Structure 1
Amino acid sequence: MSNLDRQRPAVAPSRQGFRLDKGNGKVFGVCAGIGDYFGIEPMWVRIGFAAGTILGFGTFALVYLAIALIAD
């Protein structure tokens, strides 16, 4: 067993359903909540939302706002 097999992930996924993570969030906690739910680093989710907003002509900004208003 290599050293990589024994390491735990930096962010443990939440198995209780999606929730906003306002403690670790920057604006509404949407990206931190998505990162927690899928077990990935929230910074990657933030980069994805920023790139999607720029490349999608603001569509991801509307999706972000919808998630912030609907969740929790």
Structure 2
Amino acid sequence: MTIAPRPKPSSPCTKLCILDAATGLCEGCGRSRDEIGLWGSMSEPQRLAVMAVLDERLSRAFPNRKARTA
């Protein structure tokens, strides 16, 4: 019997890991320190729910920044 490998968890990480002191958000993906720390223990629906708000969160936190591309 072959066991299928577990799929890699979804992640918005852009490899630009800089936590902004004023907002507390990662400048690359928009997650908070707590969200980043808990990411591996979140369920896929929880991760997708967080990812759904990141573009809006980034645009509010960093209004002069270009939108990230998928």
TM-score, reference length from structure 2: 0.34
TM-score, reference length from structure 1: 0.33
